[in-house]
Amino acid sequence: MNTVVVTRAAAQAAVLMDAIRERGFRVLPYPTLAIGPAPDQERLAAGLMRLADYRLVVFVSPNAIDGAFAALAQPWPPTVPIAVMGPGSVACLERHGVSSPGYHIVSPSAAPDAGGARFDSESLYEALDIAALGSGPVLFVKGNGGRTWLGDRLRAAGIAVESLQSYTRTLPQPEPAEESALLELIGAGSRAQLVITSTESVGNFLELLHRAGGHSAVRWARSQRLVVPHARIAENATAQGFVDVVLSGPGDAGIASALK
């Protein structure tokens, strides 16, 4: 299984693909998400002008951070705390010049427990000082769709929650060369390892494969070794028929290390 199919959005896949190549694998990119700008840039810019109004700003992903900082007209106010769900978002904030100790950044602990580290809404909720948030408001910066668990939990605690869309996720049109290479792999009956890094991408991958190669392509995918970085993605993949699902460590390094 020397070929690894990477389904991460093209703009965010380079570091991961390099880490995989360094381990001696051939990488075949096949993006299952397209990342675009927020549909209402004026609303985004206006919302970001009000950052000082919020007790906390939650970025749901690195894409949410990139979209917001592209529209941010002034430096991030150091008095406004930020919450993120994982080390990828912490690193993304640092690339935009926002890091501890100059800024207050809340994220789940990166130290894995016996069951492995989890970077999700539930673990972020455990890391928050709910009492310090008072009645809020808390701002969620996000894309279209996505889970509402954390916002619902904060509302249940009497905290006002608002949201602001900073980017858009859509189903991409695969590049002809990438699709051709994948269909050639499938047609030859070759084995491969698949890397999927978001819950949404599981269904998108199967939909794109079905469009390109029909039921046989989908059957092939479900029988390959699938590496995912989060338990929720693993659960989704198993529910959608994947039979060999491997949960990696966190981050790009953790994904690359799980390949064999």
**What's the chain's average pLDDT?**
93
- What DSSP designation does 53 have? G
Domains of the chain by range and CATH? 3-33+173-258 (3.40.50.10090), 36-169 (3.40.50.10090)
Q: How far apart are the first and last CA of the chain?
A: 8
Do 144 and 122 form a contact (C-beta atoms < 8 A)?
Answer: no
Closest CA to 116 of 229, 259, 258: 229
Closest CA to 167 of 76, 22, 65, 30: 65
Do 50 and 57 form a contact (C-beta atoms < 8 A)?
Answer: no
Q: What's the average model confidence in pLDDT over 161-175?
A: 96
**DSSP assignments along 103-140, one per residue:** S-EE----S--TT----SHHHHHHHS-HHHHTT--EEE
pLDDT of residue 119: 77
pLDDT of residue 251: 81
pLDDT digits (tens, 9 = 90+) for 24-71: 999 999 999 999 999 999 999 999 999 999 999 999 999 999 999 999
Q: Is 209 exposed, middle or buried (0-12, 13-18, 19+ CB in 10 A)?
A: buried
pLDDT at residue 111 tops 60: no
- What DSSP designation does 12 have? G
Residue 249's pLDDT band, with cuts at 50, 70 and 90, is confident
Q: What's the average model confidence in pLDDT over 212-237?
A: 96
pLDDT digits (tens, 9 = 90+) for 191-202: 999 999 999 999
